[in-house]
Structure 1
Amino acid sequence: MNRYLTHLRHVDLAVPDYDKQLEFYSGIWGLTPVAAEAGLSFLAAEGSPEQYVIRLRKAEEKRLDLVSYGAADPGDVDALAEQLLADGVQLITRPGAVTTPGGGYGFRFFDIDGRTIEVSSDVEARQHRRIEEKESIPVRLSHVVLNTPDLDRTRAWYEKHLGFRLSDTLSSPHMGEVMHFMRISTQHHSMALAKGPHTSLHHVSFELRGLDEYMYGTGRLLRAGTTKIWGPGRHLAGHNTFSYFLDPHGNTVEYTTELEQLDEDSWHPHVYDFSQPEVTDQWGTANPMSELVAKESFNDPDRGSFLAPPV
């Protein structure tokens, strides 16, 4: 199994209500605008060495533009590209210079559901800082969750082609398996795959400094009238806290902290029954998992499948 991927870099969103989205992410959500051009903005997390963790692009249709992962060096980028080509994966670009902030060396390709994935190395590190006590802004991007109509097929594709490993699974007696938590490091998951009616973004998650900061941030969003979907609570799989909100265009975004770090040599994946309330929320403080929560998490069908973003 290849292990070319090192970490999650950024998630790029296309949005019709660009100004409102930019105001949300750079304002109450707590990201820092670092670069912009006409209809394109790059936002960083203050505690992260990544040049940016969210990119917003003005577009007529809402879509997930791409998900970007890091690789250790150009050799790994080239090796992955050659392997994907040999396996018949459709490349959008060949490895070469990356022109977004921080530069680097990378390429793009479609996953099995038609999402654009980018892998890059040698991106210049951003000057970042230690997040202080009670400072309730994102430290870094934590993970991304993607909806797929064929859960096992998509899981197998990510395992075979990108070296993801299964950490845990959520299941229920009535629905069967509904979510796979996938890792590329000792972090419990950098990505999860959720069973959905269509290909779409489930949610994007941001790590806060600690429990206090996570609660301060959750409270700030609630007081500002941001639409809360679910939380605050603590999941069993991954052991992380959760507060899910909607951004202005209906994408689900999460504040989290204390995501589990695994010993990969001894770890064995669990199958958790999410119909048990303590599985979805160990604390019992969150509103119950409901059809409304699930419906918002399904999001709108993604208009970007097998259609590469223009930038």
Structure 2
Amino acid sequence: METSMTQRLITHLRHVDLAVPDYRQQLEFYTNTWGLKPEHNDTGLTFLAAEGSPEQYVVRLRESDDKRIDLIAFGAANAADVDAIAARLASDGVRLVSEPGALQTPGGGYGFRFFDNEGRTVEISADVAVRQHRAIEEGESIPVRLSHVVINSADPEGTRAFYEKHLAFALSDTLMHPRMGEMMYFMRINAWHHSLAIARGPHPSLHHASFELRGLDEYMRGTGRVLRAGVEKIWGPGRHLAGNNTFSYFLDPSGNTMEYTTELELVDEDTWHPHLYDFTQPEVSDQWGTANAMNEFVAQKSFNDPDKGLFLAPPV
């Protein structure tokens, strides 16, 4: 008998893995400009940690002819839960890329990979060693952790349904447009307002990856530091209504959008009811009114190039 609610066995977002043709330039950006720390290197492969995060790495960068999301990784509490998720997906006809087993990535652990409905590779893992991390100091404008990942989807309703049905993601809020309908779904797997969001786009691709800074001061210092480095700012600084978090969006050298944020909302999951926000209302996009206006040109910057990795598992 199927229960109405799939039991949630995913605990949190771990990392987002990107493949890029301009690997050297990207590595320079993520380390010297964005503030991540290269912890493990291989030829054409770097694992980048956030100083304040217990995760072994929050971004993996791989050199490739094709620009793509290699994978999005989520954590589970233990190996039994990893097995349970894999069995559930397989019985539902979801294509597994790999069976559960020992991971060969930094920190080891136990996990498996599968394709989501549009062909993105997703990894679920448990028992990964905790990284030696530290408290980020006052005034230190580097990422504390990976906050959330937003994906573009050509079928946002189907993608939302996939993550709800198979992985027990819950809807926190929806952004809509009076003419274009529902435009973005904010999805959670714990008390954070969203770990994943799904945006309506022309093709599957990365919309943005977001990094939590220590607080408002550090977020503004970080925004200024990246601006002074000459990086193209797309949108911000401002404060969204959905999630109540701050935002400054920048384009990395490959044209992937990266966000600095802070103060993402923690919701009471027992009492939370999703809102439907009309993002043509200026205060929905930006409660402060400090950011440049969200228009079609700003929106198109985050459509990104079509992902070249759909239904193609990354080589590592």
TM-score scaled by length of structure 1? 1.00
Indicate which of 190, 198, 204 corresponds to 2:209: 204
Indicate which of 15, 20, 27 corresponds to 1:22: 27
1:61 to partner: Cα distance:
1.2
Per the alignment, residue 179 of structure 2 pairs with 174
Per the alignment, residue 225 of structure 1 pairs with 230
Indicate which of 37, 47, 57 corresponds to 2:62: 57
Number of matched residues?
311
1:15 to partner: Cα distance:
0.5
1:292 to partner: Cα distance:
1.4
Answering whether residue 117 of structure 2 is matched by residue 115 of structure 1, we say: no
Structure 1 runs (4+) greater than 2 angstroms displaced: none
Per the alignment, residue 5 of structure 1 pairs with 10
1:290 to partner: Cα distance:
1.0
Indicate which of 262, 270, 275 corresponds to 1:265: 270
> 1:76-91 to 2 correspondence within 5 Å?
76-91=81-96
Answering whether residue 81 of structure 2 is matched by residue 42 of structure 1, we say: no
Stretches of structure 1 that go unaligned for 5 or more consecutive residues are none
Q: What is the percentage of aligned positions where both structures have the same residue?
A: 71
1:224 to partner: Cα distance:
1.1
Q: Which whole-Å CA distance do the structure 1 matches of 2:183 and 2:211 have between them?
A: 22
Q: Which whole-Å CA distance do the structure 1 matches of 2:270 and 2:189 have between them?
A: 14
Secondary structure at 1:244's aligned position in 2? strand
Per the alignment, residue 252 of structure 1 pairs with 257
Answering whether residue 255 of structure 2 is matched by residue 282 of structure 1, we say: no
Answering whether residue 186 of structure 2 is matched by residue 186 of structure 1, we say: no
Q: Which whole-Å CA distance do the structure 2 matches of 1:167 and 1:177 have between them?
A: 14
Answering whether residue 298 of structure 2 is matched by residue 298 of structure 1, we say: no
Matched residue type, 1:75: A
Per the alignment, residue 168 of structure 2 pairs with 163
Q: Which whole-Å CA distance do the structure 1 matches of 2:298 and 2:17 have between them?
A: 23
TM-score scaled by length of structure 2? 0.98
Q: Which whole-Å CA distance do the structure 1 matches of 2:24 and 2:168 have between them?
A: 37
Deviations 1:134-185 (A, max 9, x none): 0000000000000101111110110000110000000011110000000000
Q: Which whole-Å CA distance do the structure 2 matches of 1:187 and 1:218 have between them?
A: 22
Per the alignment, residue 105 of structure 1 pairs with 110
Matched residue type, 1:212: D
Secondary structure at 1:126's aligned position in 2? coil
Q: Which whole-Å CA distance do the structure 2 matches of 1:39 and 1:173 have between them?
A: 45
Secondary structure at 2:96's aligned position in 1? coil
Q: Which whole-Å CA distance do the structure 2 matches of 1:8 and 1:264 have between them?
A: 17
Secondary structure at 1:95's aligned position in 2? strand
Q: Which whole-Å CA distance do the structure 1 matches of 2:249 and 2:59 have between them?
A: 17
Let me know the Cα RMSD of the aligned residues. 0.4
